[in-house]
Amino acid sequence: MNKNELHGGARYLGGKVEKAVGDAVNSREWQVDGVVDQVAGGAENLYGRARSVAEDAIDAAPGFVDEAKERFDKARERLGDAAGDRARDVADRATERARDLADRADDAAARGTRKANAAVSDNPASWAVLAAVGAGIGGYLLGWLIHGDRA
């Protein structure tokens, strides 16, 4: 759990309380402020969760690469035992090429994840878009709750 998940969850919970107080005292301003805080808190929590998933993916990528290397080594050994020296040479080259590709894929995945994370966290415009989308979703849900047909 990172600070965005924690802060977003707290803001969401605070918005729930604020809306409940607004409902209790029949204050439209408190109700709207509560819903706004809920949407903003939910959006920040969602961003924090996405960031955690991206960090977990970066941490797990070397493990996947190591497992792939081990499988290539085992396949090379089986192939080498069955077909002789020529097959061993081919298997060694294929294993080396696969290791190279796996290393390059690991590096590319790590770079891409870091760039995406930096683009979202360092760009104020992305926060504005995220807040606008969250507000739009919250407004739609609020409108549906108030005016929607209920079965």
pLDDT digits (tens, 9 = 90+) for 124-136: 666 677 777 778 8
- The type of residue at 52 is S
Q: Are 99 and 67 in contact (CB under 8 A)?
A: no
What's the pTM value of the predicted model, to 2 decimals? Answer: 0.44
Nearest to residue 92, comparing CAs of 80, 110, 109? 80
Q: List Cβ neighbours of 7 (8 Å cut-off, separation of 6 or more).
A: 41, 44, 48
Q: How many structural domains comprise the chain?
A: 1
Is residue 65 over pLDDT 60? yes
Parent domain of 69: 3-147
Q: What is the mean pLDDT of residues 4-32?
A: 89
DSSP 150: -
Q: List Cβ neighbours of 120 (8 Å cut-off, separation of 6 or more).
A: 47, 51, 126
Arithmetic mean of pLDDT over the chain: 77
